[in-house]
Amino acid sequence: MIVINIADIHGNAKPIPEIGEILSSADLILLSGDITHFGGEKEASQIIDLIRTYNSNILAVTGNCDKKEVDSYLERENIQIHGRHFEIDGISVFGAGGSLPCPSPTPNIYTENEYVEILDSSTQNLDNRRPKILVSHQPPINTLNDTISTGAHVGSVTVREFIEKLKPLVCFTGHIHEAQGIDEIGITKIVNPGPLGTRSYAYMEISDKIDTLEIRKI
């Protein structure tokens, strides 16, 4: 299965046609949050509809810069994996949107305790024998992917604990724009492809294991 991961679109649709051929070739598109820039359903639907012109196989979580109504929109479209999981070609995909509180107010935030509930919900009745993919806008703590420009780590303890417990093959994340790269926690690869506006995305080929995992440029 070929998976394309896009992070932190922030309502900037311009790069999407530039990767149209890439999107069309994928079996699954995963969006790891901040689909809009402080936008709601209208802005989110414009992005989703554009992606669907190339590929309708989309699953997504919201980011901290998406208004709460974006969650409701994704749920109605049956592409929401915040607090849910889907089984696709023998692989379990589960997710958590939003972020921990930020220095500046954003509309979609959660506490660590709330992330426990969200991830408990997303993994309820999950078949742990299947390969797993986690999509979490909020990165786990103490990785390359939660390191801000000062060198401080701003990730989630809860997300890291769930990764250590459930051992997904990969966690696609975003949120920290300067923390692009691939890291690992145990067997789990942690991937922040960087904001789509930087013309980067993650490419993965996966079976019962990861065959290829790269951050690519348009």
β-strand partners of 156: 140
Q: What is the pLDDT along the chain (218 residues), one digit of tens a residue?
A: 999 999 999 999 999 999 999 999 999 999 999 999 999 999 999 999 999 999 999 999 999 999 999 999 999 999 999 999 999 999 999 999 999 999 999 999 999 999 999 999 999 999 888 999 999 999 999 999 999 999 999 999 999 999 999 999 999 999 999 999 999 999 999 999 999 999 999 999 999 899 999 999 99
Determine the angle formed by the axes of helices 41-52 and 68-76, rounding to 10 degrees.
40
pLDDT on residue 65: 98
18 φ/ψ angles, rounded to the nearest 5 degrees: -65, -25
Instruction: Domain count for the chain, please give it.
Output: 1
pTM for the full model?
Answer: 0.97
What is the domain extent for residue 77? 2-217
pLDDT on residue 128: 87
List the strands of the sheet with 85-88, edge to edge: 85-88, 91-96, 132-136, 170-172, 188-192, 181-185
Q: What CATH number did the domain enclosing 112 receive?
A: 3.60.21.10
> From CA 40, how far away is CA 136, in angstroms rounded?
20
pLDDT on residue 104: 93
Is beta strand 132-136 parallel, antiparallel or unpaired with respect to 181-185? Answer: unpaired
